[in-house]
Amino acid sequence: MKKTTCPLDCYDACSIVLEDKLRGDKDHPVTKGHLCYKMNHYHNFPQLDSAYYKGEKISLSDALDILEERLKKCEPKKVLHFRGSGNFGKMQAITDLFFAKYGAVLTVGSLCDAAGQLGIEEGRGKNLILPTTQIQKSELVIVWGRNITSTNSHILPFLNGKTVVVIDPVKTDIAKKAAMHLQIRPRTDLELACMLARFVYMQNAEDENFIEDRTEDYEFFADFIKTYRIVSTVDKIGVDILDIATLAELMQSMKTVILVGNGVQKYSHGTEVVRMIDSLAAMLGLFGKEGCGVGFLGDTSVELNDPLKVEAKRVQKAVADFGEFDISFIQGSNPVITMPNSKRVIEGLEKSFTVVFGIYMDETAKMADLVIPAKNFLQKNDIRFSYGHEYVGIMPKIEDNQNAISEYEFTKEMFKRFGFDGLKSEEEYIKEYEKQLMKDGEYYKLPSFEDIPYSEEFYTDAGLFCFIDEVEDEFNHEEEGFYLITPKCKTSLNSQFKRDNFLYVHPSTLLKDGDKVLVTSSYGEAEFEVRVKEELREDSVLAYSGNEKVNFLTPPKTDNYGNNAVFQEVKVKIRKVG
Ligand SMILES: Nc1nc2c(c(=O)[nH]1)N[C@H]1C(S)=C(S)[C@@H](COP(=O)(O)OP(=O)(O)OC[C@H]3O[C@@H](n4cnc5c(=O)[nH]c(N)nc54)[C@H](O)[C@@H]3O)O[C@H]1N2
Ligand SMILES: Nc1nc2c(c(=O)[nH]1)N[C@H]1C(S)=C(S)[C@@H](COP(=O)(O)OP(=O)(O)OC[C@H]3O[C@@H](n4cnc5c(=O)[nH]c(N)nc54)[C@H](O)[C@@H]3O)O[C@H]1N2
Ligand code: SF4
Ligand SMILES: [Mo]
């Protein structure tokens, strides 16, 4: 029986058994058997079966000839290598070796989780994975800006029998089943964490021993949270003060796990939001104890000696301007749909000679000058980490495909054509990762795996947790318009698979299913077809990630620290047009 692992950018990293079709692996300790819509329909989405030049089919070797010729004529610093997360396998990064040697510009930062990651590093030093075993041992699970039913469904069985509290501006499926749902105003998580901390402080319920032994700067934190006035802050958050007080009390008396998602940090102050949630947890001593902890999208690079790490000149991913480059080489990404501010992205790509190395004829491939078909995850060797649990998945090659090329084969070919040396065999790279893992029966665990993370130390300079004590935030909540919520869709993986192109609105807008609206923001406009959704707040509209229009509205900006896209740092106006 052959096994592999789902390649998609997803918390779960499901183990897959290859039988007559792709099936879930019942033996896997976390993913335990079932796959989601995307993997169950993987073969319904046709893979590219040819290279294309200016829209015409050409052979793979002709495509590589054209690329070679173009690259040789171009100044290396005018070439951008833009790599996305269409496939989460480690071997995606092999192409960095070629482009760095060639002298191209690579990217730094993220469209995804870099803001939150930094917030965690500032407090704890490292963003370790919270093992599922600790979730299992907890009593209270706070699902904070994570839509686990859609994005992390294999964690659901671990929540059985726990008290579940959801903090989300949308009444998500998990919110409907939860003991409590705080349907907060979007972008007020920092204030909520602050109010919870205030209640804990007023009741003298902080974990004094933990604060004394394991943290620093608590006094500054205590002063900082006092600068938020209770009545006006609770009013801003938009939920009942009694609910906040109740949650603060639950957290004091139960073993608590907080599962923080991407939703809280798509903002300019995303780093501070996540650090504030961490600070609340530290105040209650929720680190380094059984059944406790805060899990975000964990950092899989911790303790990993990465053979594919390279030095290169880099530009910020969220605001990369394709128009500044003579050649844009896009791999495993569909920036026309997934990058903020689609109009700017399209205009940039029109100016650049665009090469897409991917598996689908997606929107970016359709506008590309040259398309190079990649092998899919079944057709090449790889290994992947999960950011949601402690297991690492091996992905051996299962089938052949003569019409496409793997990232390793592409790199090898380019090394040859450019006379570069130093590329090792594919097997050596994968072994390099594998040898760092901890074996657990048939499966592997992360090199940074700690059964109870931070039980010995934090990884800051002083080895202590470092509390937050200031925030810079100039967002104007009073600006006219609706908050734009843009989370993940159940049937798509960002721009891949079955997408949803509707704009969801609250019934109070008096719009009806099928109405057409023009939506505008300070950054752009687009037309959408409406669907009414009672689960929203009156002040919000929602369009899922992968929606073909939503990123026409989003800001071409990064967060306060310049690391991450800020898809939700915007308000939108809607007008019915038909
Ligand atoms: N089915 C599916 N699964 C996926 C993906 C996919 O596209 N589809 N994408 C994968 C990727 S790339 C990632 S990064 C992860 C992310 O997955 P999640 O961490 O679940 O992140 P999102 O779906 O972006 O948003 C989660 C929740 O945040 C809520 N939210 C929005 N704004 C706010 C706010 O201001 N405060 C709070 N508290 N909540 C808010 C949304 O309503 C939503 O329910 O999912 C991965 N898994
Ligand atoms: N509005 C809005 N926009 C968002 C988000 C949001 O929540 N809202 N989320 C953001 C987040 S968190 C993320 S992570 C990004 C993700 O955005 P992207 O990085 O663009 O990822 P995908 O849309 O999943 O994949 C794009 C392409 O990857 C290619 N691909 C798949 N497998 C392979 C492979 O094995 N090899 C190669 N070479 N190519 C392959 C396919 O051709 C596919 O079209 O989107 C971001 N954009
Ligand atoms: S997308 Fe996520 S839930 Fe679906 S099969 Fe892959 S890892 Fe599992
Ligand atoms: Mo992501």
User: Which amino acid makes up residue 231?
Assistant: V
pLDDT of residue 1: 81
> CB of 370 within 8 A of CB of 66?
yes
Q: Which residue has the tokens 């495993």?
A: 332
Distances (CA, A) of 226 to 114, 172, 191, 220, 469: 28, 32, 11, 10, 11
pLDDT averaged over every residue in the chain: 98
Q: Which atom of ligand 3 is nearest to the CA of 31?
A: 8
Hey, which of 98, 317, 359, 384 would you mutate to test ligand 2's pocket, going by the most ligand atoms within 8 Å of its Cβ? 359
In this structure, the residue with its CA closest to atom 32 of ligand 1 is: 263
Write out pLDDT tens, residues 472-510. 999 999 999 999 999 999 999 999 999 999 999 999 999
Hey, which of 38, 81, 152, 334 would you mutate to test ligand 2's pocket, going by the most ligand atoms within 8 Å of its Cβ? 334
Q: Is the pTM above the cut of 0.85?
A: yes
pLDDT of residue 20: 87
- Residue 342: HSE in the Cβ half-sphere, 13 Å Cα cutoff: 19
Cα(415)–Cα(492) distance, rounded to whole angstroms? 35
Cα(303)–Cα(17) distance, rounded to whole angstroms? 29
State which H helix or E strand residue 556 sits in. none
332 lines ligand 2 (CB under 6 A): yes
Cα(210)–Cα(192) distance, rounded to whole angstroms? 22
Mean pLDDT of 326-343: 98
Residue 156 Cα to ligand 1 middle (Å): 15
Tokens representing 350 are 């029109």
pLDDT of residue 284: 98
Please give the biggest Cα pair distance in the chain: 72
pLDDT of residue 46: 97
Write out pLDDT tens, residues 403-437. 999 999 999 999 999 999 999 999 999 999 999 99
Write out pLDDT tens, residues 18-42. 988 999 999 999 999 999 999 999 9
| Confidence label for 100 from pLDDT (cuts 50, 70 and 90) | very high
Region of 288 on the Ramachandran plot (φ > 0 left; ψ -120 to 50 alpha; else beta): left
Q: Which domains does the chain have, with CATH numbers?
A: 46-110+314-445 (3.40.50.740), 114-296 (3.40.228.10), 482-577 (2.40.40.20)
Q: Is the dihedral of CA 565, 460, 254, 207 positive or negative?
A: negative
Residue 314 Cα to ligand 3 middle (Å): 31
Residue 130 Cα to ligand 3 middle (Å): 19
pLDDT of residue 464: 98
Dihedral of the alpha carbons of 504, 268, 145, 259, in degrees to the nearest 10: 160
Q: Which atom of ligand 3 is nearest to the CA of 6?
A: 6
| Ligand 4 ion: Cβ-proximal residues, 5 Å cutoff | 112
Write out pLDDT tens, residues 336-369. 999 999 999 999 999 999 999 999 999 999 999 9
DSSP state of 514: T
- pLDDT exceeds 90 at position 232: yes
Write out pLDDT tens, residues 127-175. 999 999 999 999 999 999 999 999 999 999 999 999 999 999 999 999 9
Residue 415 Cα to ligand 3 middle (Å): 34
